[in-house]
Amino acid sequence: MLSKNEIHEGGNQMLEKFFKLKENGTDAKTEILAGITTFMTMAYILAVNPSILAAAGMDQGAVFTATALAALIGTLLMAVCANYPFALAPGMGLNAYFAYTVVLGMGYDWQVALTAVFVEGIVFIVLSLTNVREAIFNAIPKNLKAAVSVGIGLFIAFIGLQNAKIVIGGATLVELFSLENYNMVNGVEATFNDVGITVVLAIIGIIITGILVIKNVKGNILWGILATWIIGIICQFAGVYVPNPEIGFYSLLPDFSNGLSIPSLAPVFGKLDFSGVFSLNFIVVIFAFLFVDMFDTIGTLIGVSSKADMLDENGKLPRIKGALLADAVATTAGAVLGTSTTTTFVESASGVSEGGRTGLTAVTTAILFGLALFLSPIFLAIPSFATAPALVVVGFYMLTNVVNIDFNDISEALPCYICIGAMPFFYSISEGISMGVISYVVLNLLTGKAKEKKISILMYVLAVLFILKYIFL
């Protein structure tokens, strides 16, 4: 009979063999902690995605199950196909496009919209197998890759500030939170005891996480999330935070009234409708999904991998084909399960910041998505004001990549600046990339620097395609 030590050693050897931990300068403990951190910053998707797709007429409980399963499958695929610490789930922005533009705006049934996602996934798989996506990734210049990382940092920090309600809409487009303006913009009658205190808690959370980062505490982002949530629960018991479900402020305590049952997948599983596949509008919808997914994924992979020093000396990501294929297959599987486009999540950066370097991080995140199916009341209770500080701090980590941009060469720096600014201002990673690519090609071409920089043909093609997109779509 094997002793505990022998079993433990055998387990470590197996993990080492599969994930190559030592080769990547990491260990099992670090990877697991990183996986937990990534999950905690992504868990909001389990609550947000069902509510968005419910607007399209889909069953909310079924979409919750589809969301968790799509994240589980996609993230496991990333671990197996590429051995990278990236997590996947139904993407924000793509779910809004699905519900509000395709279904509510263009009048398609959600079944047809799911079919568009499915077809997009199939096209993606083909592109991944034929090296097109890999070629696109490798064609983007090194400085522009660094800019993508910086832009994503600002973008997710902005999302964090919005989730925390620290930043709200107003007369100046966005402005600092005030109760009066919040009520006016949202048409509600919120008070300090619902929205107000959560803003204070989010700011406290940012300070706590910041202190933990400065002190170099292991798992600082994760502990920051948990500490903020716990302080919120204390405030609820003390009567300082009063839940107001009517305007979206719920109890911070897990609700186990319905037990631990998994909502049925049946209402959305396999509900594909190919009747409108060959119409021009449908092709436009597929292209829109394809475009946003492809460049959000490439942008996320560039940003997170450059932050983790995973790019080689030529600025290329080893094993990118596996990563892109995992993303493509996950999109196809997600559509069958009953959810919008599954994509690589920028929140993977939080796990990378915690030291995650291999697929073991992804496996940990995937397992937690699996557990979330059974423990959904707990995970859905983590409020956005608790995860917001994590996004703000991760944004800082990614911003530090700005030192890798060569500001002495204005022809390099200016397109990088445009790329960085476009992501938060246009609220889109893909728009940032397209603006960066167009400006890089046009500025270098018109100033006679294109030849000496040996800009790839693919960069020219991308620039033309991006320009055509703005003209015709």
SS3 for 228-263, per residue? HHHHHHHHHHHCCCCCEHHHCECCCCCCCCCCCCCC
How far is Cα of residue 395 from the mean position of the Cα atoms in its chain?
Answer: 12
Give the span between the Cα atoms of 75 and 33, in whole angstroms.
16
pLDDT of 240 over the 90 cut: yes
C-alpha 237/C-alpha 363 separation (Å) is 36
Specify whether the CB–CB gap between 147 and 424 falls below 8 A. no
Q: What is the DSSP letter of 215?
A: T
C-alpha distance from residue 385 to each of 191, 252, 411 (Å)? 16, 11, 40
Give residue 462's pLDDT.
85
Highest mean pLDDT: which range of 123-137, 243-257, 332-346: 332-346
Residue 92 has pLDDT above 80, yes or no: no
Q: How many percent of the chain have pLDDT more than 70?
A: 97
What's the CA dihedral at 365, 367, 373, 378 to 10 degrees?
-60
Q: Take residue 253 and report the two structure tokens written for it.
A: 């305590």
pLDDT digits (tens, 9 = 90+) for 116-145: 999 999 998 998 888 777 777 778 888 988
| Domain coordinates in residue numbering, the chain | 24-252+276-472
Q: pLDDT of 383-430, one tens digit each?
A: 889 888 888 888 888 898 899 899 999 999 999 999 999 988 988 777
What are 177-225's pLDDT values in tens digits?
Answer: 989 888 988 888 889 999 999 999 999 999 999 999 899 877 788 788 8
pLDDT tens figures, 2-49: 555 555 565 677 788 788 888 888 888 899 999 999 998 888 888 888
pLDDT above 90 covers what percent of the chain?
A: 37
d(CA 350, CA 389): 11
Q: Residue 170 is inside which H or E element, if any? A: strand 167-170
pLDDT of residue 416: 95
In the structure encoding, which two tokens stand for residue 18, read together? 């599969």
Measured distance CA(329)–CA(324) in Å, rounded = 9
Which helix or strand (DSSP H or E) is residue 175 part of?
Answer: strand 173-176
Q: Whole-angstrom Cα distance, residue 38 to residue 24?
A: 18
Please count the other Cβ atoms lying within 10 Å of the Cβ belonging to residue 14. 10
Strand partners, 343: 89
User: Are the C-beta atoms of residues 346 and 304 closer than 8 Å to each other?
Assistant: yes
Q: Which residue reads 């394809």 in tokens? A: 290
pLDDT at 5: 59
